[in-house]
């Protein structure tokens, strides 16, 4: 933890971190709960995301319109998001407006009213959000990929819920989940920018009051579930949207640094092997990339590509060849060093921003119960050697860990089924 990062646990159990950046003009504030869609059941799937929407609908003291107007007239912006394992509410504004911004944020977080009319209105909004995702193949593919990776498991369910599960969620279900998820032990507050830690703590103690203690919601573990395949037929599409993934390590695994670098060399940037081979040399696609999903005890390294269905057999052959290349030979020192420079450089650039510093602190506290100095992570990345990359590729790129999902014309499905069934045997 750097010397400009400060941590305090309030008497209620709420953890607060500040990152003092005196040269900045802004302050970014994050209110986090360490609960997301993976703490839901099949019956109430979507309730965490539903609550995220409802906190903007008003409190005992402010209407939803009041919240928006008071934030924006201070020159600030507000946003929120729900993930599998946390929910976050974030504001960025002028540093001199810290006190009134905290006042609004605390009110939203601690005093939502959950009026029946608001529930019904926002239920309709989320139905439209679900429909919008289905209209966008790349977004729908994200849900299908999770379903293929973790079938019959909370990690495999859509964060928005389904139309059917959303309609089952009543006000009592919302209240029950809120009181467990938004308790003191689950709450983290992070502030970064031109602020002073003592000032933040003083203001929070005046505004926050005492969040109630509540038992944590159970978390079902998510181990590798075997070889999953999901396909959604859309004959109105001109392209096939394909995800190929492999069950990977969780955020505490010692190989996570090698896994990050493997992902960069595989498909994270324009220098990556997939981009160079499939797009630049073969001209098979416009967009191809790889990404990581990391949770407490599991993860997924997955590749996304959109292309003409007629090019699919060639693309799958090339993709397989790139993956096998990592298994059969360690990367050169130069290739690995370039990946390290990219990751560390992008990290340092991003963390010049108060919002990124605030997010870093929040995610660290929720995942590791401390704020990790980014330079510590950079040193661990720098220490990875080529043989570690090859060993990790041998561990990950195996038939029993393969996950495939796609959205596209129906004629694509048999091609993918054949490849999925035999490519890594």
Q: What is the pLDDT of residues 158-189, one digit of tens each?
A: 999 999 999 999 999 999 999 999 999 999 99
Which tokens hold the place of 315? 């693309």
Inside any domain, residue 185: yes
pLDDT-derived band of residue 223, with 50, 70 and 90 as boundaries? Answer: low
State the average pLDDT over residues 64-86: 97
The residues assigned a catalytic role are: 52
**Residue whose tokens read 């390590």:** 249
Residue 89 is inside which H or E element, if any?
strand 87-94
* pLDDT of 292 over the 80 cut: yes
226 vs 83, which has greater pLDDT?
83
**For residues 73 and 75, what is the distance between their CA atoms, to the nearest angstrom?**
5
* pLDDT of 199 over the 70 cut: yes
Which tokens hold the place of 228? 């999953």
Inside any domain, residue 213: no
* pLDDT of 225 over the 70 cut: no
* pLDDT of 208 over the 90 cut: no
Determine the pLDDT at residue 192.
98
| φ/ψ (deg, to 5) at 92 | -130, 130
**For residues 123 and 144, what is the distance between their CA atoms, to the nearest angstrom?**
22
* pLDDT of 49 over the 70 cut: yes
Strands 77-82 and 228-233: unpaired
CATH code for position 287: 3.30.830.10
pLDDT-derived band of residue 220, with 50, 70 and 90 as boundaries? Answer: confident
Q: How many CB atoms lie within 10 A of CB 136?
A: 12
Residues 17 and 161 in one domain: yes
3-state secondary structure of 138: helix
Last residue of a domain, one of 208, 236, 252: 208
Question: Shortest CA distance to 12 belongs to which of 95, 93, 109, 83?
Answer: 109
State the average pLDDT over residues 211-225: 69
pLDDT-derived band of residue 217, with 50, 70 and 90 as boundaries? Answer: confident
Which tokens hold the place of 371? 């704020």
Contact 148, 230 (CB under 8 A): yes
Residues 280 and 179 in one domain: no
State the average pLDDT over residues 55-72: 96
Inside any domain, residue 215: no
Residues 241 and 342 in one domain: yes
Residue 273, phi-psi category: left (phi > 0), alpha (psi -120 to 50), beta (remainder): alpha
3-state secondary structure of 6: strand
**For residues 64 and 72, what is the distance between their CA atoms, to the nearest angstrom?**
13
Number of domains into which the chain is organized: 2
Inside any domain, residue 298: yes
3-state secondary structure of 159: coil
* pLDDT of 98 over the 80 cut: yes
Domain that holds residue 45: 5-208
State the average pLDDT over residues 217-230: 75
Residues 144 and 107 in one domain: yes
Determine the pLDDT at residue 1.
65
State the average pLDDT over residues 68-93: 97
Residues 198 and 255 in one domain: no
State the average pLDDT over residues 212-225: 69
Inside any domain, residue 216: no
pLDDT-derived band of residue 421, with 50, 70 and 90 as boundaries? Answer: confident
Inside any domain, residue 214: no
Which residues does 279 contact at the CB level (< 8 Å), separation at least 6? 285, 286, 287, 288
Residues 269 and 135 in one domain: no
Residues 336 and 404 in one domain: yes
**For residues 360 and 280, what is the distance between their CA atoms, to the nearest angstrom?**
34
Determine the pLDDT at residue 283.
96
DSSP string spanning 314-370?
HHHHHHHHHHHHHHHSPPPHHHHHHHHHHHHHHHHHHTTSHHHHHHHHHHHHHHHSS
**For residues 320 and 230, what is the distance between their CA atoms, to the nearest angstrom?**
19
* pLDDT of 424 over the 80 cut: no
Residues 52 and 144 in one domain: yes
pLDDT-derived band of residue 265, with 50, 70 and 90 as boundaries? Answer: very high
Share of the chain above pLDDT 70, in %: 97
Which residues does 344 contact at the CB level (< 8 Å), separation at least 6? 378, 381, 382
**Residue whose tokens read 């109105």:** 236
**For residues 139 and 287, what is the distance between their CA atoms, to the nearest angstrom?**
14
Which tokens hold the place of 255? 């190989």
**For residues 343 and 321, what is the distance between their CA atoms, to the nearest angstrom?**
25
Question: Shortest CA distance to 120 belongs to which of 49, 57, 48?
Answer: 57
**For residues 328 and 324, what is the distance between their CA atoms, to the nearest angstrom?**
6
Determine the pLDDT at residue 78.
97
Inside any domain, residue 293: yes
Residues 159 and 233 in one domain: no
Residues 173 and 249 in one domain: no
Inside any domain, residue 217: no
The overall average pLDDT reported for the chain is 94
* pLDDT of 359 over the 80 cut: yes
Which tokens hold the place of 347? 């990290």
Q: How many CB atoms lie within 10 A of CB 209?
A: 12
Q: What is the pLDDT of residues 116-131, one digit of tens each?
A: 999 999 999 999 999 9
Residues 303 and 196 in one domain: no
**Residue whose tokens read 């043989």:** 387
| φ/ψ (deg, to 5) at 27 | -135, 135
Give, as one character, the DSSP assignment of residue 277.
Answer: I
**For residues 158 and 55, what is the distance between their CA atoms, to the nearest angstrom?**
20
pLDDT-derived band of residue 227, with 50, 70 and 90 as boundaries? Answer: confident
Q: By mean pLDDT, which of 95-99, 219-223, 226-230 is the weakest?
A: 219-223
Last residue of a domain, one of 208, 237, 260: 208
Determine the pLDDT at residue 422.
80
State the average pLDDT over residues 382-409: 97
* pLDDT of 221 over the 90 cut: no
Give, rounded to a whole angstrom, the gap between the first and last alpha carbons of the chain: 45
Share of the chain above pLDDT 90, in %: 91
Last residue of a domain, one of 208, 240, 255: 208
Residues 298 and 351 in one domain: yes
């Amino acid at each position: 933890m750097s010397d400009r990062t400060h941590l305090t646990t309030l008497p209620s159990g709420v953890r607060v971190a500040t990152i003092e950046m005196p040269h900045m003009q802004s302050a970014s504030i994050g209110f986090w709960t360490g609960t997301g869609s993976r703490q839901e059941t099949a019956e109430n799937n979507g309730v965490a995301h539903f609550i995220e929407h409802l906190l903007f609908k008003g409190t005992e003291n402010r209407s939803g319109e009041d919240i928006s107007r008071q934030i924006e007239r201070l020159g600030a912006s507000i946003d929120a998001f729900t993930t599998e394992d946390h929910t976050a509410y974030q504001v960025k504004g002028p540093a001199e407006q810290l006190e009134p911004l905290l006042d609004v944020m605390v009110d939203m977080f601690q005093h939502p009213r959950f009026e029946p009319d608001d529930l019904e209105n926002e239920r309709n909004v989320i139905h439209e959000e679900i429909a919008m995702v289905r209209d966008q193949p790349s977004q729908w593919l994200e849900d299908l990929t999770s379903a293929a990776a973790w079938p019959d498991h909370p990690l495999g369910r859509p964060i928005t819920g389904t139309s059917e599960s959303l309609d089952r969620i009543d006000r009592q279900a919302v209240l029950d989940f809120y009181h467990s998820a938004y308790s003191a032990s689950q709450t983290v507050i992070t502030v970064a920018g031109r602020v002073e830690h003592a000032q933040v703590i003083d203001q929070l103690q005046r505004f926050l009051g005492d969040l109630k203690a509540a038992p944590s919601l159970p978390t079902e573990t998510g181990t590798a579930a075997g070889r999953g395949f999901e396909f959604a037929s859309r004959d109105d599409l001109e392209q096939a949207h394909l995800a190929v993934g492999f069950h990977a390590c969780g955020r505490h695994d010692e190989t996570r640094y090698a896994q990050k670098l493997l992902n960069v060399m595989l498909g994270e940037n324009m220098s990556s092997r997939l981009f160079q081979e499939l797009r630049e040399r073969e001209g098979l696609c416009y967009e191809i990339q790889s990404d990581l999903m990391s949770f407490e005890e599991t993860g997924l390294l997955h590749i996304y590509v959109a292309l003409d269905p007629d090019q699919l057999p060639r693309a799958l052959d090339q993709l397989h060849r790139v993956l096998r290349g990592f298994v059969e030979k360690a990367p050169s020192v130069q290739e690995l060093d370039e990946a390290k420079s990219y990751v560390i450089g992008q990290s340092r650039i991003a963390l010049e921003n108060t919002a990124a510093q605030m997010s870093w602190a929040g995610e660290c506290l929720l995942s590791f119960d401390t704020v990790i100095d980014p330079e510590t992570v950079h040193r661990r990345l720098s220490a990875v050697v080529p043989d570690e990359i090859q060993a990790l590729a041998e561990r990950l790129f195996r038939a029993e860990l393969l996950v495939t999902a796609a959205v596209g014309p129906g004629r694509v499905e048999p091609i993918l089924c054949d490849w999925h069934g035999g490519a890594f045997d």
